[in-house]
Structure 1
Amino acid sequence: MSPDQPVAELLAAAARPLEDARAMPPSVYTSPGFLQREIETIFSREWLCVGRSSGLANPGDYVTCDLAGQPVVVLRDREGQIRAFSNVCLHRMSTLLEGSGNARVIVCPYHAWTYGLDGKLRGAPFMAQTTGFCKHDYALPEIRCEEWLGWIYITLDRDRPAVASELGALERMIAPYRMENYVECFRETHVWDTNWKVLAENFMESYHLPVCHADTVGGHSKLEEMECPPGLRAFNYHWITKEASLAIGNAHPSNTRLEGHWRKTTALLTLYPSHLITLTPGYFWYLSLHPKGTGQVAITFGGGLSPEFMEDPKAQNYVASLKALLDEVNLEDRGCTEKVFRGLSAGSARPGHLSYLERPIYDFMQYIAERTAGFDRSFALAAE
């Protein structure tokens, strides 16, 4: 395959009008060269979500991740601030922390060089005879880190506009939920055998719910009432009315913030490139995606409750029910998205027309084309 083939095919697909739109061509999912272009133009430059700030409640709480080849640790320091640092020791360049947890200091597992929660080197054994060494010259490089409505984002781009400036329109749209007060109750990491865009697209359309999720949430979603407005610069979204499969899917009786249809309306949000949120009146869940090759995706998965349900005496039961449901939903989605990747990898695979219920996929395709190939989607920004 020519390295230019995925770009040419994507630009042709993105230029089609919505009424005649087709899915993205297989080459943009399977080409290693195109994935490298995505790393350089998207994941090295955009804001990526690592979870909720409520998940790092105490000084020393941390999570780790890889962002475009850079190991990163995100933590709450002793002053209560959320900060992000390179997760690579400044001595022999071992990675430092793994997974998530709580640490009073950061200790390198190779030679025990020790850093404070401010990233500064605190101790380095057996370095006294190295005359050129001064521990005050060493501090872990800081990674840009911001909070928005309770979410933590990081970026490698020092010139990227602030998160809030890019998501102001979305903040106004979802203001009635007061998402900033929702509390994360669980967070996990997974790796699935599919392309990151396949999973992102699966999340951002509800067309598949009655089929893929027939045994869980499919029967509770009214596709005929679903609204799929045009996406904006940094995100797309759609609304769906649900008769809740869980009590927490609708507003808690003590919730006086939400009125009328808002009390049973779910927002499905795709914050580009790969932060995916289902926001209901009573709970939320999310995925944050990062590619691990063309055929694997690293997933941060989490969820939790609105403040009214967190204050309910049955809060832990609600959390357990939510987690059990989402584990089933994820199992169903994994099966569907891994089948899609196997199918689109076949030589005979051809993209078909999109349903009007898949409008967010059309907007996502144009976003990918803009970032990777210079596609002009300015016509789509009039509503912003």
Structure 2
Amino acid sequence: MDNIIARRPGPSVQEVFDGDRNPAPAVMRVESPAIGQSSDDVSIARYFAKDWHDREVEQVWRKTWQLACRLEHIPNIGDHIVYDIVHDSLIVVRTGPDEIKAYINSCLHRGTMLRTEGGCVKQFRCPFHGWTWKLDGALSVIPGQWDFPHVDKDKMNLPEARVGTWGGFVFINFDADAEPLETYLENLPEHFASFNLEDRYVAAHVAKIMPCNWKLAMEAFVEAYHVPFAHGQVLSYYGDSNTQYDVWPGVRHVSRMISVQGVASPSKPATTAEQTIEEMRRDVPFFA
């Protein structure tokens, strides 16, 4: 890897699109570079300080729309998953043919988790004292109810988070006052319109817990700068240095990164088309 050179002239993403016989959607044929962004250092406290983490819990994870699962994960009434984020836990459950709810995963009696894993149930029963809620969130059973004259069942429904769906995905939001998912997504649906995501399904799910702040892990996947050194084997067919980044004025929640494959990295200018195709066939399972 010692012979990797600085960025050379090479085809931009849009120039690659210009030569593609399969025209890219119009939404992909625009650029909105990040102009005027600050280059000041980012405080390291953002990555390890406890008070910064606590603020993110309150202002990010309890305020933003988050992807919880796919619709095909909970196809039948009673099907549910457990969604955990930091200190909070939700039961995301299908309660009707066209209805999904997300309940705070905690018994209202002593706070025991109602569910520790997903599955299919007809009701939610606390494993500690047996208090039971129906799928619609209504309290139905209090064992030894004679000893709880002060409990009004009608006021003991399971607290809910907000639920929204798009493209076959199920999103949740802990904030009752959050804007609707439809407007929160802004221009994202336009970018994925040709993907027909609602007709897709999860064939495999791979997850890994990383011993780092969430921003470090996320930032590693939204830049191509590391590719020549961390993934040198892909340079014959990955246009790393020519990656296009877009930030749209007035758009709060969506940015874009486009990296093209089938084009050699500018750090390998002598790569032939035949070499690019051969190495893609070797490394990319779905390429034929």
Change (3 A) 1:187 1:164: same
Equivalent pair of 2:84/2:90 in contact (CA under 8 Å): yes
SS in 1 for 2:245: coil
Measure the CA separation in 2 of the matches of 1:119 and 1:187.
30
Question: In the alignment, residue 246 of structure 1 is paired with which amino acid?
Answer: V
Change (3 A) 1:21 1:67: same
Change (3 A) 1:248 1:103: farther
After superposition, the C-alpha distances for 1:279-329 in whole angstroms (9 at most, x for unaligned) are xxxxxxxxxxxxxxxxxxxxxxxxxxxxxxxxxxxxxxxxxxxxxxxxxxx
Measure the CA separation in 1 of the matches of 2:41 and 2:223.
13
Change (3 A) 1:194 1:68: closer
2:124 pairs with 1:106 = yes
For residue 243 of structure 2, what is the aligned residue in structure 1?
226
- State the TM-score, normalizing by the size of structure 2: 0.71
Q: Which runs of 5+ in 2 are unaligned?
A: 1-34, 263-279
Question: In the alignment, residue 239 of structure 2 is paired with which amino acid?
Answer: K
Match of 2:54 among 36, 42, 55: 36
Change (3 A) 1:210 1:52: farther
Measure the CA separation in 2 of the matches of 1:118 and 1:202.
41
Deviation, structure 1 residue 130: 3.2
Change (3 A) 1:60 1:156: same
What are the residue-to-residue correspondences of 1:26-105 with 2, within 5 Å? 26-67=44-85, 69-105=87-123
Equivalent pair of 1:64/1:97 in contact (CA under 8 Å): yes
SS in 2 for 1:233: coil
2:184 pairs with 1:195 = no
After superposition, the C-alpha distances for 1:146-179 in whole angstroms (9 at most, x for unaligned) are 1122221111212211122122312112211122
After superposition, the C-alpha distances for 1:76-119 in whole angstroms (9 at most, x for unaligned) are 11434221011110111111101322222212111111212211
Measure the CA separation in 2 of the matches of 1:111 and 1:200.
41
Deviation, structure 1 residue 220: 4.1
Measure the CA separation in 1 of the matches of 2:187 and 2:88.
30
Equivalent pair of 1:115/1:123 in contact (CA under 8 Å): yes
Question: In the alignment, residue 191 of structure 2 is paired with which amino acid?
Answer: M
Deviation, structure 1 residue 67: 4.0
What are the residue-to-residue correspondences of 1:198-209 with 2, within 5 Å? 198-209=216-227
Measure the CA separation in 2 of the matches of 1:138 and 1:189.
36
For residue 254 of structure 2, what is the aligned residue in structure 1?
235
Measure the CA separation in 1 of the matches of 2:117 and 2:225.
35
Equivalent pair of 1:55/1:185 in contact (CA under 8 Å): no
Identity of aligned residues (%): 24
Higher relative helix content: 1
Measure the CA separation in 2 of the matches of 1:57 and 1:17.
46
After superposition, the C-alpha distances for 1:50-81 in whole angstroms (9 at most, x for unaligned) are 12222222222212123463321111114342
2:177 pairs with 1:159 = yes
Change (3 A) 1:54 1:176: same
SS in 1 for 2:145: coil
Question: In the alignment, residue 284 of structure 2 is paired with which amino acid?
Answer: L
Equivalent pair of 1:62/1:74 in contact (CA under 8 Å): yes
- State the TM-score, normalizing by the size of structure 1: 0.55
Measure the CA separation in 2 of the matches of 1:195 and 1:162.
28
After superposition, the C-alpha distances for 1:238-271 in whole angstroms (9 at most, x for unaligned) are 1122246435468xxxxxxxxxxxxxxxxxxxxx
Change (3 A) 1:174 1:130: closer
Change (3 A) 1:137 1:40: closer
Measure the CA separation in 1 of the matches of 2:287 and 2:67.
24
Equivalent pair of 1:62/1:73 in contact (CA under 8 Å): yes
Measure the CA separation in 1 of the matches of 2:41 and 2:203.
35
Measure the CA separation in 1 of the matches of 2:144 and 2:87.
31
Change (3 A) 1:249 1:140: farther
For residue 145 of structure 1, what is the aligned residue in structure 2?
163
Match of 2:194 among 157, 176, 188: 176
Equivalent pair of 1:211/1:218 in contact (CA under 8 Å): no
Change (3 A) 1:139 1:156: same
Change (3 A) 1:74 1:187: farther
Change (3 A) 1:139 1:17: same
SS in 2 for 1:180: helix
Larger Rg: 2
The count of aligned residue pairs is: 233
2:141 pairs with 1:126 = no
Measure the CA separation in 1 of the matches of 2:75 and 2:241.
41
